[in-house]
Amino acid sequence: MAALRAASEKEAAGEAERLRRTTSDEIERISRAARAEMDAAERAARVELRAMGARLAVERAEALLKKQITADTQAALFRAFVQGLPESAN
């Protein structure tokens, strides 16, 4: 009877250890997956932020150009461009 009890206790202890290892492994796997997901979300946010910054910079530049370039300025820029064409052809 004592041998049976000892064997049962040993088996239970082994099963408890196996469950602890399995749980620990699962916790580590979930932690790695969560870290990878957070890293991916951070990279996506950085890309989106750069794109937003670029879009805002272009919009601001466009607004400034619309304020500063009059019809006369635009005509002068066009004339200077056309006059420079023969030089750039060489």
**pLDDT-flagged residues of the chain (< 70):** 88-90
Count of CA atoms in the C-beta half-sphere (13 A) of 56: 6
SS (H, E, C) the chain: CHHHHHHHHHHHHHHHHHHHHHHHHHHHHHHHHHHHHHHHHHHHHHHHHHHHHHHHHHHHHHHHHHHHCCHHHHHHHHHHHHHHHHHHCC
Domain ranges of the chain: 2-83
- pLDDT (tens digit per residue) in 17-31: 999 999 999 999 999
